[in-house]
Chain A
Amino acid sequence: MKAEYNLSPDLFNVASREDRNAEKIHRPSIKYWPDVWRRLKMNHLAMTGLILIIFFSIMAFVGTEINGFKYFEQNYDLINVHPNGVHWFGTDELGRDLFTRVWYGTRYSLFIGIMAALIDFLIGVLYGGIAGITTRRVDSVMMRIAEVIYSIPYLLVVILISVVFTQAGQGSSLFILIFAMTLTSWVPMAILVRGQVLQLKESEYALASESIGGTKNWILRKHIIPNTLGPILVNVTLSIPRAIFAEATLSFIGLGIQAPKSSLGALANDGLAGLPVGNAYQILIPAIFISLVMFAFNVLGDGFRDALDPRLRK
């Protein structure tokens, strides 16, 4: 189709060199983490989780001060009161305000969950990183040790340690609890990191680094670890709810956190007695809180996984 316009002869002169830019890059620069964040934002479920987590974290400290009752305040006149306008979540069998106690418990549940996940992360990355980068023989030995550790029944470990330390009259039960929990739970993280390291070790840019003189240590630090942070982040985020639930279970059976401190699991345990006598709210409310917190971390972790998956890039 011929164009219907007049073409002046001048247009047929040579275009200047400067006018043509052959190496231009048109798109704006996309950095890695901002792009991950952008993709995460598009995932409404994950964002809901994130908002919930922020809400719970803030309320864990603010919530205990809102209605004026202290978490340890006992009031024998007001035992087992159902939720009303004064005690929004009711009271327990010692007359303590449940609203305040639940937020107080959230504090410890979150703390334990995050600490446990952090410790798993630190040990896992160190152990898995070394196993991945070292010789096959050392790697084999390290992995066998890890498997043996992991196969020890977790509950057994916790009970043993609790008993040992209680007998020895040692310090805060909180740190003993975390210690007992993380003694075996770091193994999956180590296995993940090792797998990532093994895979990335073979990547061509790791090889290229070796060819310019990079030592194993250098390659691990500069090339491998930064590229494993994605999957590690997913795993850390997902291990928090696992740790929270583990603690809740332990506290529920009486092995976890001791009075006067309390966690959501301990509260659920306290509330168990209320179930047969019509005070279901005493166990229901902590249970709902546990579920919500776990849900929030799980969807956030899933969201991270999707946001980091290069194949799902939109």
Chain B
Amino acid sequence: MENVLEVKDLKISFKTFFGEVEAVRGISFKVGKEETIAIVGESGCGKSVTASGIMQLLPMPPAFFKGGEIIFNGENLLNKKEKEMQAIRGNKISMVFQDPMTSLNPTMKIGKQIVEGLVKHHKMSAEDAHKKAIEMLELVAVPQPGKRINQYPHEFSGGMRQRVMIALAMVCNPQLLIADEPTTALDVTVQAQILELMKKLQEQLEMSIILITHDLGIVADMSDRVIVMYAGQIVETGLTEEIFASPKHPYTRKLLASVPRLDMNKDEPLYSIDGTPPDLYIPPKGCSFYDRCTEAMKICKDHVPDLNEHNDTHLSRCWLNHPMAQKVYSMDGGEK
């Protein structure tokens, strides 16, 4: 499968008063054609910074790219000037954000915002662009598109606004859509609608999606592959089925065990992870999960774990998977 996007050893840091904060510490992954990749992790793990970084939408300073490459259609995006990036944003790579309230211009009619992209990137005439905009609104199931195209964002509800956001993002037929927590601010019944819509559009437009979320249910529903991030690094990645069925990293295991499921037995305990993610102003020397890991070994403190390749698709970084770690541990840290 050809890759739409390939990220190699990406490092992004922020200059702050306290010093350098390493938000993304060397991550590598690929996105194939028509694939949906979910990036899961807690806040501060670097997933949003990665998404904004790909689009180069981070404020620079204080952010800066410390290293790595972002290869899109054979070219390294980090070598591109701002003008070149502008031709890509909204056109070849689109982004949908969490809060549609703040990502839509409140003083501009919806239609105008959609038409803007078409006129700029595809050099369409205003008339054609207007027609296309109505088509897009129909595609995302906004009722009465001909009338609503002349309305302002505040005249739409939260779910409708997100649909408009999606229409905006899709209108130039991008190859890659980056959706950063697109449904977090929405009610659960509306969320279900939006996710269905995204799936439908992906099929129609043959698009790849990077879906950033913390909701493991959405991951199970939408993604082909999963990337689990923690403290700026990828700790595990693999096919969705693999990750859920046999997680190989303690963080992934704990994460899966800390989410209540509608179909679980009520008496089953909910595991929680003690403490909070490390402060990336002093990046941990060894495994970043060391302080919170109940299965930690002495080696984990000072040595970054090797990459474990479980098969072609399933990778993780954990000393427990090293051949020398013979004992198998249970969830509470005792021996099995």
Q: Touching in the complex, A and B, CB below 8 A? A: yes
Q: Are B291 and A26 in contact (CB under 8 A)?
A: no
- Residues in A with CB closer than 8 Å to B325 are 12
> A14 and B291 in contact (CB under 8 A), knowing A26-B279, A27-B18, A314-B16?
no
- Docked-complex contact B279 and A15, CB < 8 angstroms: no
Looking at chain A's contact residues, the main secondary structure is loop
| Chain B residues closer than 8 Å to A7, beta-carbon distance | 299, 322, 324
Interface 9-residue window, one of B46-54, B169-177, B219-227, B300-308: B300-308
Interface status of A22 (Cβ within 8 A of chain B): yes
Q: Is A204 an interface residue (CB 8 A)?
A: no
Q: Which of B17, B282, B326 has the most CB of A within 10 A?
A: B17
Extra contacts, 19 of them, besides A3-B303, A26-B281 (Cβ < 8 A), are: A7-B322, A7-B324, A10-B298, A11-B299, A14-B295, A14-B296, A14-B297, A14-B298, A15-B290, A15-B300, A15-B301, A20-B296, A21-B275, A22-B291, A23-B274, A23-B275, A26-B282, A27-B279, A314-B16
Number of A-B contacts (CB under 8 A): 64
**Cβ–Cβ < 8 Å partners of A13 in chain B:** 297-298
Cβ of A136 under 8 Å from chain B: no
Can you report 22 A-B residue pairs in the complex whose CB atoms are below 8 A from each other?
A1-B307, A3-B303, A3-B306, A7-B322, A12-B297, A12-B299, A12-B322, A12-B327, A13-B297, A14-B298, A14-B333, A15-B290, A15-B298, A20-B290, A20-B293, A21-B291, A22-B276, A22-B291, A23-B274, A25-B279, A26-B278, A314-B17
Number of interface residues of B (CB under 8 A): 32
Q: Is A24 located at the chain interface by the 8 A CB criterion?
A: yes
Q: Which residues of A sit under 8 angstroms from B326, Cβ to Cβ? A: 12
| Docked CA distance A1–B9 (Å) | 12
- A11 to B297, alpha carbons, bound, how many Å? 7
Chain A residues positioned under 8 Å from B276 (CB to CB): 22-23
Specify the chain B residue showing the minimal Cβ separation from A23: B275
Query: Is A31 an interface position by the 8 A CB rule?
Result: no
4 smallest CB-CB distances across A and B, nearest first, come from A22-B275, A11-B299, A26-B279, A15-B296
Q: Which residues A13-41 have CB closer than 8 A to chain B? A: 13-15, 19-27
Min CB gap B290→A, angstroms = 6
- Chain B residues positioned under 8 Å from A11 (CB to CB): 297-299, 303
CB nearest to A42 among chain B residues:
B17
Known: A3-B303, A12-B322, A27-B281. A20 touches B298 (CB 8 A): no
Bound-state Cα–Cα, A90 to B212, Å: 74
Once the chains are docked, how many angstroms separate the CA of A244 from the CA of B286?
A: 62
The docked-state distance in angstroms from the alpha carbon of A2 to that of B275 is 31
Instruction: Report Cα–Cα, A10/B325, bound state, in Å.
Output: 10
B residues engaging A (CB < 8 A)? Answer: 16-18, 62, 274-276, 278-279, 281-282, 290-293, 295-301, 303, 306-307, 319, 322, 324-327, 333
* C-alpha spacing A36/B295, complex, angstroms: 43
Residues from chain A with a CB closer than 8 A to the CB of B275 are 21-23
| CA A14 to CA B291, docked complex, whole Å | 13
CA A272 to CA B115, docked complex, whole Å: 64
Most buried by B among A9, A12, A13, A26: A12
Q: In whole angstroms, what is the CA distance A22 to B291 when docked?
A: 5
**Distance in angstroms between the alpha carbons of A12 and B322 in the assembled complex:** 9
Chain B's closest residue to A22 (CB) is B275
A2 / chain B contacts, CB cutoff of 8 Å? 306
Q: Is the CB–CB distance between B324 and A9 below 8 Å?
A: yes
Q: What distance in Å separates the Cβ of A260 from its nearest Cβ neighbour in chain B?
A: 53
Centre residue among B292, B296, B297, B298 by max chain A CB count within 10 A: B298
Instruction: State the Cβ distance, A83 to closest chain B Cβ, in Å.
Output: 47
A residues 23-66 touching B (CB-CB < 8 Å):
23-27
Q: How far is the CA of A97 from the CA of B316 in the complex (A)?
A: 84
Tell me, rounded to whole Å, the shortest Cβ–Cβ distance linking A271 to chain B: 48
A2 to B324, CA, bound (A): 14
State which of B17, B281, B292, B297 has its C-beta within 8 Å of the C-beta of A22.
B292
User: Complex: how many Å from CA A314 to CA B18?
Assistant: 9
In whole angstroms, what is the CA distance A84 to B18 when docked? 53
Which residues of chain B are within 8 angstroms of A9 by Cβ–Cβ distance? 324
A20 touches B291 (CB 8 A): yes
Shortest Cβ distance from B61 into A: residue: A314
Contacts A3-B306, A19-B301, A27-B279 given; does A12 touch B292 at CB 8 Å: no
- When chains A and B are docked, how far (Å) is the Cα of A20 from the Cα of B319? 17
What string of 1s and 0s marks CB contacts (under 8 Å) between A275-314 and chain B?
Answer: 0000000000000000000000000000000000000011
Minimum C-beta distance from A30 to chain B (A):
9
Whole-angstrom distance between the Cβ of B267 and the nearest chain A Cβ: 27
Q: How far is the CB of A215 from chain B (nearest CB, A)?
A: 36
Write out, one digit per residue, whether chain A residues 114-151 have a CB within 8 A of any chain B CB (1) or not (0).
00000000000000000000000000000000000000
Residues of B contacting A20 with CB < 8 Å? 290-293, 296
When distances are taken between beta carbons in the complex, the residues of chain A under 8 Å from B295 are 14
Residues in A whose Cβ lies below 8 Å from that of B282: 26
Within the complex, the shortest CB–CB distance from B264 to chain A, in Å, comes to 26
Question: Once the chains are docked, how many angstroms separate the CA of A13 from the CA of B319?
Answer: 11
CA distance A20 to B293 in the complex (A): 8
How far, in angstroms, from A20 to B292 measured CA to CA in the complex? 7
Q: Closest approach, in angstroms, between the C-beta of B6 and any C-beta of chain A?
A: 18
The smallest C-beta distance from B319 to any residue of chain A, in angstroms, reads: 7
Bound form: Cα–Cα A21–B300 in Å: 14
User: Nearest Cβ in chain B — how far from A314, in angstroms?
Assistant: 5
Q: Which residues of the other chain, B, contact A10 by a CB distance below 8 angstroms?
A: 298
Bound complex: CA A9 to CA B306 (Å): 16
Nearest CB of B to A172, in Å: 50
- Cα A12 to Cα B293 in complex, Å, equals 14
- The CA-CA distance from A10 to B299 in the complex, in Å, is 8
What is the CB-to-nearest-CB distance from A80 to chain B, in angstroms, rounded to a whole number? 56
State A201–B224 Cα separation when bound (angstroms): 48
